[in-house]
Structure 1
Amino acid sequence: MPHVPTTVAIRLLTASDAAPYRTIRLEALAAHPEAFASAFAREQDKPLAWFEERLTTSDVFGAFIAEELVGVAGFWRQEGAKTEHKAVLWGMYVRPDARKSGVGRRLVDALAAHAAERVEQLQLAVVSENAAAIRLYTGAGFVEYGREVKALKLDGRYFDEILMALFFDRSGK
């Protein structure tokens, strides 16, 4: 594995990060349309204010190398008395030049630490063909708990999603 850059900074994004967030989000949707429930066509014409609001109302982490946003991952806590103990990791993307350097793992670890203070489990769905992402999540402690067959459909082709969860023991045992 390549050396992890020492200049990687992970932090929550704010409305002031909307422009670079919009750029990386659209890049992710265009480059890997099969990996996201949303679509490039849905988000490409959204005004910058839409992305600002998303960053104001959501917990989205960014990975920066030399002030450049190279990766993102979102945290969404489920609502409702019976499900608020769970959250979802969504929108994970690392630019190709930053892959295999540990940036993705740092993003996942930061988001998991954030989640551990707020919920009992962190869930995600990953396209079954994305072996690199599955290795990343498994290495971070996620376990598979199911599969959604034909979860996404793109251009007439179906993609299954592996459902994974990371459980936090909040009992201290």
Structure 2
Amino acid sequence: MADNSKARVRRLMPEDAAPYREIRLEALKLSSEAFGSSFEQEGSQPLDYFRETLAKTDVFGAFVEADLVGVAGFRRQAGTKQAHKGYLWGMYVRPVARGTGAGKSLVKAVLDHARERVELVQLAVVSDNEAAQRLYRSCGFVAYGHEVHSLKQGGRYYDELLMAVALTLPST
């Protein structure tokens, strides 16, 4: 899959809190089964909550012109024995931008960022989300596990496929 995105990707800063809040809440509303959090949980949070999230974490945004069309986060695992691993989280691309390469551009930006920090990046994706799995595979991720009943919403369980990609750290 070629990356033919017209999206420009950059790390989001605290001053991006308003558009980040908007897209994050849209993601939680339209694709609620894909996230551990919920619209109800984050929808009542003030703008400062999202500003603090962007100040403390690495979140990337894909922009088409001035419009934020996608987001993806990165965090390094805690603890000395797991610090060599990172996690891609909160991936969402607005329906209007799907199939344009914006998602692939976001994943590549996260992986480029992660290469300077960790040796391995992991993620979890709802097992019936074939489009997302194809995207992640096209970026080098491979499945290494399957978590049964990982998420539960409205009385329904969702399994998640666990995926990872090994990175090469720059030599020092």
Q: TM-score range by the shorter chain?
A: over 0.9
Deviations 1:28-69 (A, max 9, x none): 000011000000000001000000000000000000001110
Aligned to 1:160: 159
Report matched runs for 1:92-103 at 5 Å: 92-103=91-102
Q: Is 1:2–1:100's contact at 8 Å kept on the other side of the alignment?
A: no
Aligned to 2:150: 151
Q: Note the C-alpha offset of 1:4.
A: 3.1
Aligned to 2:58: 59
Structure-2 change in CA distance of 1:26 and 1:171 (3 Å)? closer
Consecutive unaligned residues of structure 2, counting only runs of 5 or more, are none
Give runs of ≥4 in structure 1 deviating > 6 Å: none
Residue type at the aligned position of 2:153: L
Report matched runs for 1:1-173 at 5 Å: 4-6=4-6, 8-170=7-169
Aligned-partner SS, 1:4: coil
Q: Number of matched residues?
A: 171
Structure-2 change in CA distance of 1:45 and 1:165 (3 Å)? same
- TM-score normalized by the length of structure 2: 0.96
CA RMSD between the two structures: 1.5
- TM-score normalized by the length of structure 1: 0.95
Residue type at the aligned position of 2:36: A
Deviations 1:136-169 (A, max 9, x none): 0000000000010000001111000000001013
Q: Is 2:116–2:170's contact at 8 Å kept on the other side of the alignment?
A: no
Residue type at the aligned position of 1:154: Q
How far apart are the structure 2 equivalents of 1:82 and 1:2?
36
Q: Is 2:14–2:52's contact at 8 Å kept on the other side of the alignment?
A: yes
Structure-2 change in CA distance of 1:109 and 1:41 (3 Å)? same
How far apart are the structure 2 equivalents of 1:5 and 1:143?
23
Q: Note the C-alpha offset of 1:171.
A: 7.4
How far apart are the structure 2 equivalents of 1:122 and 1:103?
19
How far apart are the structure 2 equivalents of 1:123 and 1:94?
19
Q: Is 2:117–2:169's contact at 8 Å kept on the other side of the alignment?
A: no
What is the aligned-residue identity percentage? 56
Q: Note the C-alpha offset of 1:79.
A: 1.1
